[in-house]
């Protein structure tokens, strides 16, 4: 029994279905090689020869293209059917992603705002702590100075000196206690959501540019004249460049006629 495996079809075995293929390719090759022999056009006869050569090349080009389409018709049908099958599922998944996005994004935005508020509260507590520490340090130094002045004075009584020393010691004790006591820790909640299967979903900044809504179209174009944000004589805003600048500068975006805005996008990562 013959157990040899048949060789898979190649482009050449496939083209055997079209006997005229060899003749077409030979004719095309002859034209390709003949182009170097075309004369420089200096008279009507030369122009006629080159024009005829060009017409032959165009005709051969169309003939080859037709045969290419005929030869690949079956394969293109198969590929088209496969693409349609996969695309059907991908389109439905895209719809499912959009639905999930609508459900999840408001919650993620709220988490982002809560996290930002917690971070702001933490920074405010740290500021208040530093301010209180600075005030108590100043008060302690003042009391120490008063104590030193009373001790150096010949008119101060022992009772005054003792009182000043007691007040200075109390101020130093309070300052030491404050220095070792950190402000209440505020831990911002994670901005990401962890899925039951280990996936993580978070918000990613998506800064983009748009026309300044407080300016007329004419004022916007006038403001952008002479900048790379305007496409030459077409006077169309080049949002590709504008968006790149918005992503770079974010809330520091300062292009006259345009404003930047952030439309956060949900990003999901699946742990492997």
pLDDT tens string 187-208? 555 556 565 555 666 777 888 8
pLDDT band at 234 (very low <50, low <70, confident <90, very high): low
pLDDT at site 271? 57
pLDDT tens string 69-82? 888 888 899 999 99
DSSP state at residue 2: -
pLDDT at site 71? 84
pLDDT band at 218 (very low <50, low <70, confident <90, very high): confident
Long-range interactions of 239-244: CB distance < 8 A, separation 24+:
239/208, 239/209, 242/209, 243/207, 243/208, 243/209
- Answer yes or no: are the C-beta atoms of 249 and 213 closer than 8 Å: no
pLDDT at site 61? 92
7: pLDDT strictly greater than 50: no
Beta pairing class for 193-194 and 265-269: unpaired
Residue linked to tokens 């975006």: 253
| 175 three-class SS | helix
DSSP state at residue 213: T
202 vs 225, more confident: 225
204 vs 154, more confident: 204
In the chain, at which residue ranges do the beta strands (DSSP E only) sit? Answer: 193-194, 200-204, 207-211, 230-231, 236-237, 258-262, 265-269
pLDDT at site 178? 58
| 236 three-class SS | strand
> What are residue 235's phi and psi, to 5 degrees?
55, 45
- Answer yes or no: are the C-beta atoms of 237 and 230 closer than 8 Å: yes
Residues in CB range of 73: below 8 A, 6 or more apart: none
Using left for φ > 0, alpha for ψ between -120 and 50, and beta otherwise, residue 235 falls in: left
pLDDT at site 3? 47
Distance CA 194, CA 174 (A): 45
Tell which residue, 137, 140, 162, has the closest CA to residue 150.
162
* Burial tier of 193 (Cβ tally within 10 Å: 0-12, 13-18, 19+): middle
For residue 194, the cross-strand partners are 200
pLDDT tens string 19-71? 677 888 888 999 999 888 888 888 888 888 888 999 999 999 999 999 888 88
pLDDT tens string 163-193? 767 776 776 776 666 566 555 554 555 556 5
pLDDT at site 1? 43
| 209 three-class SS | strand
pLDDT at site 57? 92
Averaged confidence pLDDT in the chain: 77
pLDDT tens string 83-137? 999 999 999 988 888 888 888 888 888 887 887 788 888 888 888 878 877 777 7
Tell which residue, 206, 214, 136, 203, has the closest CA to residue 170.
136
DSSP state at residue 256: T
Residue linked to tokens 């122009």: 47
pLDDT at site 143? 66
């Amino acid at each position: 029994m013959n157990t040899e495996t048949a060789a898979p079809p190649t482009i050449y075995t496939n083209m055997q279905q079209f006997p005229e293929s060899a003749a077409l390719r030979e004719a095309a090759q002859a034209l390709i090689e003949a182009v170097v022999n075309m004369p420089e056009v200096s008279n009507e006869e030369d122009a006629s020869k080159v024009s005829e050569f060009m017409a032959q090349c165009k005709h051969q080009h169309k003939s080859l293209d037709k045969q290419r389409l005929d030869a690949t018709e079956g394969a293109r049908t198969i590929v088209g059917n496969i693409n349609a099958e996969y695309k059907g599922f991908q389109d439905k998944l895209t719809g499912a992603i959009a639905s999930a996005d609508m459900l999840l994004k408001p919650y993620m935005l709220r988490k982002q705002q809560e996290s930002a508020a917690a971070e702001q509260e933490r920074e405010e507590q740290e500021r208040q702590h530093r301010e209180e520490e600075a005030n108590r340090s100043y008060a302690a130094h003042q009391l120490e100075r008063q104590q030193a002045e009373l001790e150096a004075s010949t008119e101060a009584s022992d009772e005054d000196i003792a009182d000043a020393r007691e007040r200075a010691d109390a101020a130093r004790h309070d300052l030491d206690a404050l220095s070792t006591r950190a402000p209440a820790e505020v831990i911002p909640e994670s901005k990401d959501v962890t899925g039951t299967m280990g996936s993580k979903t978070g918000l990613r900044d998506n800064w983009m540019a748009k026309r300044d809504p407080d300016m007329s179209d004419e004022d916007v174009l006038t403001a952008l004249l002479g900048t790379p944000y305007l496409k030459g004589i077409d006077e169309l805003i080049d949002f590709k460049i504008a968006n790149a600048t918005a992503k770079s500068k974010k809330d520091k975006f300062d292009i006259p006629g345009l404003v930047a805005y952030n439309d956060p996008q949900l990003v999901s990562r699946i742990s492997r």
